[in-house]
Amino acid sequence: MSSSALKVLHRLNKGGYDAYLVGGGVRDILLGLKPKDFDIATNATPEQIKALFRNCRLIGRRFRLAHIVFGREIIEVATFRGHHDSASDKDQQDIKTSKQSEDGMLLRDNIYGSIEEDAERRDFTINALYYSAKDFKVYDFANGVKDVENKIIRLIGDVETRYREDPVRMLRAIRFATKLDMEIEAQTKAPIKTLAPLMANIPAARMFEEFLKMFIAGKAVANFEQLRDYHLFKFFFPAVDQALDANDELLERFIILAMKNTDKRINNDQRVTPAFLFAAMLWHPLQNYIKQININNSLSPQDTFFAALNEIMPEQQRSIAIPKRFQGVMKDIWILQDKLAHRVGKKAFKAFEHPKFRAGYDFLLLRSEIESDNTQLAELAQWWTDFQDVSPEAQLQMVKGIKGEQSRRRTPRKRRKPTTTFSTE
């Protein structure tokens, strides 16, 4: 267990409050896995928690939470949640405390209650497990230990009501199933396709967080297949989903290969950037926009690219709020596809010195692998692979070779003067 989490538990206990390690941390320890996060539930209110910890900051409006900061590690502490229908009339009428949409989605959820009520408010049985540092016991309120042992994902309470309260629970069911190699219980998965349209109500900023959990955690391919099956992928990438529905096999192979490469790097503890996967997802829709613009306009290639970019990015931002730092990297990867194709003179060396050269080169390799019938693309990818493995002098010769080859292509052959034949007749 995290020593920081233990410190928080002990200080809350010494302050006279009940406190438990809860959810994924307990579940993962029972499964023999190393937890990534250590969340704590307590009967102390956010303000009481802040009074105990100088390194505490309160966050959130929908869910009021306390973050206890230990350097780079953050321990999240939540007050026991209660049932909205059992709250006082005053709390139910206060929109800062309790608020629901017409679809039943919880917009404010700051009704506090007991540990039993908190367990009932948890999403899945495997997450309704509480570990106490006082008596070293795990408290199980929903037969979660049994479901952990049987590898079952099961919602607590009425399934449709729980999904309506927070539609993201549909994504969480899939993510836990793929991450933990578990099965979604029949009643838990039954209404997902029917209730999938509720995902349209989720803010784009939250969808970005869910994208990271689904696609940048080593299980991108498995999650993609499940999201497509349950009609949920379109809420991440509507243009891509539409093309996949139209049986765009090249696009499907392209993004699956990109996801496989991402999964492989993550599982090998190598660095990845979400921007690469975003660039891969939107590459073919971007090319389609470029083709459409070229039909109706006579713009330069650069102007056409930026016109297409201005079409696709605002559209995508409505689904996932991609931060500007990743948008910049995506744009660099796409622009480099053109730069890597022009290698005469200093252009090759400028492209090679580009800060995002490696990402652009990896993207080129991805394209060449999928577009196997494009011999020019394969030759280009091989050229850049060789370029990185030779000395600066050899690199210069390679660039000169490209210049000579292009000169030979452009120089027309000299025509022989026709020989005049005189007739003797």
| Rg, Å, the chain Cα set | 29
Q: Which of 123, 147, 241, 263 is catalytic?
A: 123
C-alpha 262/C-alpha 277 separation (Å) is: 8
362 is catalytic: no
C-alpha 153/C-alpha 146 separation (Å) is: 11
- Residue 266's nearest CA partner among 218, 222, 220 is 218
Q: Which of 37, 94, 248, 362 is catalytic?
A: 37
39 is catalytic: yes
Residue 195's φ and ψ, nearest 5 degrees, are -90, 0
The DSSP 8-state label assigned to residue 99 in this structure reads E
Diameter over CA atoms, the chain: 126
Per the DSSP assignment, residues forming a β-bridge with 41 are 20, 78
37 is catalytic: yes
- DSSP characters over 154-207: -BSS-HHHHHHH-THHHHHHHHHHHHHT-EE-HHHHTTHHHHGGGGGGS-HHHH
Token duo for residue 91: 């709390």
Q: Which of 39, 118, 147, 166 is catalytic?
A: 39
| Angle, CA of 235, 239 and 245, to the nearest 5° | 90
Active site residues: 37, 39, 123
